[in-house]
Structure 1
């Protein structure tokens, strides 16, 4: 039983410019110095783990430092991807063409970016790496840094490792229409669930909480399912949750937390599906905690939804109380107010862990917050949680 509000974040943390350059170059198929990539990854990982602990965060991870992106990394672990697919534009870009042009102007000419929008297709039979080399390598490196910090007296209250869900992979790395192995989206999603299960079970077996990154359960309403009705989208949410549950069949639900978001780009977000429409569908997931953003202007008004749709009895809420798309630094009192509102909506402060809206570096080269500001925001999260703890627990 906790007597204070614990803190965590959503996954990705700032990489160094050099690591970003190397990851993006590899993502684009260029030849790189593998030894240099390994050395820079180790250096940034060491800094990232230590800085989380010295900042005061309670539940920490590896910052997704070794990955070029939170979902596209999976193509390096599952065989069957190739070619280039093209995702639909967001409804923001369609409905606000001047905004779309403004965003395009923010990209420097000639700059190279990770493949966020034009990504590989599922062209063949999916098969997860039998050696589990990628996930094991990442876990080994993370655990070495945890051990090093423990020797110096820095120990977290808990650890988590993030992984992409079947639904976000299926809506990001699209199914090639000519793939002979999967006839439709449903078959593809469930095939992904079976392959991703290998990674999920490895993470939990190593003692970490599994965070499932599932922005598809909200964000894809305005991208992949932008032409669908709300009912059609919610049916897809149910399908994706069913696939998640199938992949989790061997994992206790209290070892899993689910992150759902509406995308962390700086846009109008006028067509985001309200959380009130989503919660009953999200609650079908066999997980122990729900990470949902409420620190941004489009959704910070929605916390009262938990009064109308109470959390499952055995579940926690990880409300996002830090906006990850702006360099405005939240005042700790603002953070505390958001945490208190979340606790009051849930009805029990012991069931709330304070978090961020989304990752602070979702893809290498795709970040909105400066590195020093990002860490200051996490510091404000810790300070705000301490203030909220005094108000909620006395």
Structure 2
């Protein structure tokens, strides 16, 4: 967080601490029984804002709109502010830097390569004694969520509008996407903008206007992943990773036809939270594209309630029934368990217990679905 705020830091000490926590995170995932693991985004201050450390052109300070949840429910907003400890020690979420110049990916790719090297080292060390190597994925922000988080400075001389800015981001982020896939990892594209921004940056727009933005952001994704095998890329979409009313979220059946335009092989969608759990049925009316898989969220990531494995299994079975083929369902969690440094709702020990419930629930569901 100190680096995020432009303060001087001990670079070597930070790197050592990142490596230590990353090693623990990888080892713990394997001990928990997860089949597909990642690095927990340990080196990143935020799931989307990390790009400012890899792409030049950012500076100053922007201001994102408050969510409709906080505007419509002020009592809730006051409680939420206490829960996430909004103070000087929290990563920048709403006051993020602006795109003030041309966005250009670091030609030496230092941060990217260091992160991938560290992750692969941890997997090699902790997965060496296993009969089969664990599958791995690496998450990366999409052009759209970066454009809506690190806002375009109106005075930026390089981009006339948000569309040009988003396209430029697509071209630069493609560097990251290609390296991740080339090194054998599944690329997870984190794109909460495709749902969440309806209640933030586009809260004053019509639904049709917002869906037009969704389409343009998906065009940018397709531009950035052109040439990559679809089965090595999956898309994560969500309505925002916070415990709140979510009263104005876009229904999933409205979004699916637009999401399916993405040339990816998997769709990660949260279905464990109480606002959207019932919407798994929409997959019956809007079948997945040919060959695609669904990664339904069956664990909520904003509360400390620990899901019973039987409930997890029930959700997995319902997802398989909605898709029509259990082979095309990979159980997952709704979103990240902490998407920004110090912006978290779930205690660490509870988070690991939730992941264990995911594993146990998947085992129960597999017996029911496959015998």
Q: After TM superposition, give the deviation of residue 26 of structure 1 in Å.
A: 1.5
Give unmatched runs, 5+ long, in structure 2.
none
Q: Deviations over 1:89-121 (max 9, x none)?
A: 100011111111222233557551000110000
Q: Name 1:334's counterpart in structure 2.
A: 311
Aligned mates of 2:198, 2:320 — CA distance in 1: 28
Q: Name 1:133's counterpart in structure 2.
A: 110
Aligned mates of 1:118, 1:355 — CA distance in 2: 31
Secondary structure in 2 aligned to 1:81?
strand
Aligned mates of 2:161, 2:358 — CA distance in 1: 43
Q: Deviations over 1:216-268 (max 9, x none)?
A: 00000000111111000100000000000000112111110000000111110
**Given that residues 241 and 302 in structure 2 are in contact (C-alpha distance below 8 angstroms), is that contact kept between their aligned partners in structure 1?**
yes
Pairing 1:97-246 to 2, within 5 Å after superposition: 97-106=74-83, 108=85, 111-153=88-130, 155-246=132-223
User: In the alignment, does 2:330 pair up with 1:353?
Assistant: yes
Q: Name 1:284's counterpart in structure 2.
A: 261
Q: Which moved more, 1:264-273 or 1:28-37?
A: 28-37
Q: In structure 2, do the counterparts of structure 1 residues 313 and 109 end up closer, same or farther at CA, with 3 Å as the change threshold? A: closer
Secondary structure in 1 aligned to 2:34?
coil
Please, what TM-score do these two structures have when normalized by structure 2?
A: 0.98
Aligned mates of 1:66, 1:109 — CA distance in 2: 21
RMSD (Å) for aligned C-alpha atoms: 1.1
**Given that residues 22 and 39 in structure 2 are in contact (C-alpha distance below 8 angstroms), is that contact kept between their aligned partners in structure 1?**
yes
Between the two proteins, the alignment pairs up a number of residues equal to 371
Secondary structure in 1 aligned to 2:137?
strand
Q: In structure 2, do the counterparts of structure 1 residues 275 and 39 end up closer, same or farther at CA, with 3 Å as the change threshold? A: same
Q: Which moved more, 1:284-293 or 1:38-47?
A: 38-47
Please, what TM-score do these two structures have when normalized by structure 1?
A: 0.92
Secondary structure in 2 aligned to 1:160?
strand
Aligned mates of 2:132, 2:105 — CA distance in 1: 33
Q: After TM superposition, give the deviation of residue 40 of structure 1 in Å.
A: 0.8
258, 270, 288: which one aligns with 2:235:
258
Q: Name 1:56's counterpart in structure 2.
A: 33
Aligned mates of 2:31, 2:162 — CA distance in 1: 44
Q: Name 1:27's counterpart in structure 2.
A: 4
Q: In structure 2, do the counterparts of structure 1 residues 154 and 120 end up closer, same or farther at CA, with 3 Å as the change threshold? A: farther
Aligned mates of 1:270, 1:46 — CA distance in 2: 39
